[in-house]
Chains A and B, each alone.
Chain A
């Protein structure tokens, strides 16, 4: 108790130095928290770009399909697989898709594109295709409906209600097959590749074009907790006996993004280490100055019977109070910045991640754990940095110290 009282009062002997040190530690803590929050925010928006647009959080695919997109690699018993998946507690929703490459033509132009057959009711549970619509209406399951992107609309020079012909090869036989559609909706994901070359039709139309009955190429899976998609995927359901199908996390399907996510946590670690290093130098410096100024006094209290360990404890307590108070300040600062930007986000300009242009403002993701972990680390580090000055102080020889006139 005396130690604590002494420590607090000693810190306020040189108020300016203490406040400067506290600001340095506090700013570092808030920087750590905010960088972590912004990184998480960026990752979240990046993750959303994949999981909430088209890829979904995971996909059930036949082995080899993700490399070749071979139309022959389809899952024939879609409803059985879906029923199986629906029994997995971790899985919230599933939706089958038929995917085929082919020619998409209007009366003016023709391009090659990817046509997706989807189940409009189920699709809304696993992707945001419906929200990406900028004109017309989403699929309703009626014949001839097709959704195209804004890029494709420009190339084909078509508008809502105009005719479009999709030509592709049927599964298994490879026979050419053709169908006529009318543009029922226009979407825009803001991702060029998708807006230029993706088209969506009702799954029944796609199945009949490709003559594949009730089969599908992909079953998109939505988890109850998005973190379930983190690698390695741990699910109760094992589909390996089922036509060599497997559940692939979106991270597996987008390796480069996944490795980028891993890299970004390394970035936080590097930044954290640099800040921690700066903080330690600052603390060592500040604590040493305060010990030097008190050499005579430390000599006196040692002379009257204070044990070396009690001196160490005093200096470490001073460091603890310094670190703790600084972290309160830093945490407060971080939460203020966090609150101020919670709605509008932090605009970082446009940035591109493996061909995907993102330009939304980043919403910092603040979690209680950031406000616990970083302050604890920092306070411990402050105390660690004070060990050297503390040991130095504990070893001051009283007879030497007492010769130093003030």
Chain B
């Protein structure tokens, strides 16, 4: 089954709409981010901010300061316009504003590089108080959206525009903000992925299996706080790691894992991600190929990691 994680955000908002303190803010992209379902059901608790992202983030902050639970969404790339508002107006006073950046990553496709946020996870991860998530499917996007109500501070969640395989159906109970999900056991290498590259990592693990390599796969939907416990446990078993994300290799999941491992258990780490460049117009799959972040790249990275492990 295929679905887009942005639909999960839309579902998640509906699921929590009975809480009268949940409010939704839109910047003329509700049809795209999928907040429109909430708007249709709860127009009085939906705030149209026009095409004004900076204003939207701070209206959300004001609402949060008065006890509301605001969910503000636009494309991931356009949340970045309001970075300083998020930094100073939301993260600094630690207000529980939940930002959803949809259409993240190169996977968003033919709109081209202006729309392909490949740095959002890095910039939001650098903010104190911020929880940063990038779910891989609609099921987990919905569950994590609902769990935002339990957070006492702000969060950023990236969702994807295009459909990807549904991974977590019937496994909702395993999902928890801050906890990675072990999707497949394996002992030679750990594939740690987020977002659209989770299903690609499962594919890669299957290919590796055919080549006699046992790879475990983790959906690290929460990039911050990173599930370092799971990471440490896995690394003891596998002795090498591959990270995979539709994001710059600088500062995202790969960066977070590298930072942690370098100060705990330094093991060979290969980062599959966008190598410090911008994308261009293309279909989602074409983009993953162009940027060398597709299944084959994960397979190759896994082999490199194992080779480095064996050499040392």
The answer to whether A and B assemble together is no
Residues of B that sit less than 8 Å from A by CB = none
